[in-house]
Amino acid sequence: MCTPVSESLKFFSPEWCAAAAEASNAEPKVLAGFREPAKFSHRMEFGCPDSGLATHIEFKEGVVVSWGAAEFPEDDIWLRINADAATWREAAEGGKEAGQLLMAGRIKFAKGPMSAAIENGGAFNNFIRAWGQVPTAWPDGA
């Protein structure tokens, strides 16, 4: 069943981030996908440069504790991960896993250790996949 556009949340808006955080935290495969969930406490940026969108998210022990507008200082940002809206949509809706899109060069690690993506690949895939549970108003062209 399709969700009416009027009920959809604008991608990367504060309301969307809150809903996606809830969906991610409710998905056990995310926590299980971290190499050491108890040690995964980091601030990160997820961006969509082609749409001029950037959000900041904070994980504590593998759980999303905040997600919203970009407001963390640059030095706090451990990972910056970018893709265009169409790529985020494809990963969220299950067309391809985020890891495959990373290897295809469509998701880019703009800052931070590549080892984070490798050892937490399962969490990364399932975290992005959880976005698909949020009824989303994607930017034009996505």
Partner 1 sequence: MPRQRDVHAAYKVEVADGDQANGVASILGSLLQQNFDKFPERAAIARRMRRPVGVYSKDTDAAATIVFGQEGAVIYNGLVEKPSVTVHATVNQILDVAQLKVVGKGLVPVGFFTKRGLHVLGEILRHRLVVKGLLTHTMASLRTIALVSIAE
- The site for partner 1 (CB under 8 A) is made up of 97, 99-100, 102-106, 108-109, 113-115, 118-119, 121
Closest among 35, 33, 48 to 108, alpha carbons compared: 48
* Structural tokens at position 2: 């399709």
Nearest to partner 1 of 20, 117 (CB atom): 117
Q: How far is residue 123's CA from residue 35's CA, in Å, rounded to a whole number? A: 9
- For the bound state, the minimum distance from the C-beta of residue 115 to partner 1, rounded and expressed in Å, comes to 4
Looking at the Cβ atoms of 106 and 129, the one nearer to partner 1 is 106
**Position of tokens 């990972």?**
79
* Between 83 and 92, CB nearer to partner 1: 83
The dihedral over CA atoms of 32, 22, 86, 82, expressed in degrees to the nearest 10, equals: -70
Q: How far is the CB of 31 from partner 1 (least distance, A)?
A: 18
Residue 99 or 135: the one with the smaller Cβ distance to partner 1 is 99
Cα angle at 65 between 61 and 71, to 5 degrees?
A: 120
| Least CB distance to partner 1 at residue 32 (A) | 15
* Token pair 């494809």: residue: 90
Could you tell me the smallest distance in angstroms from the CB atom of residue 78 to partner 1?
13
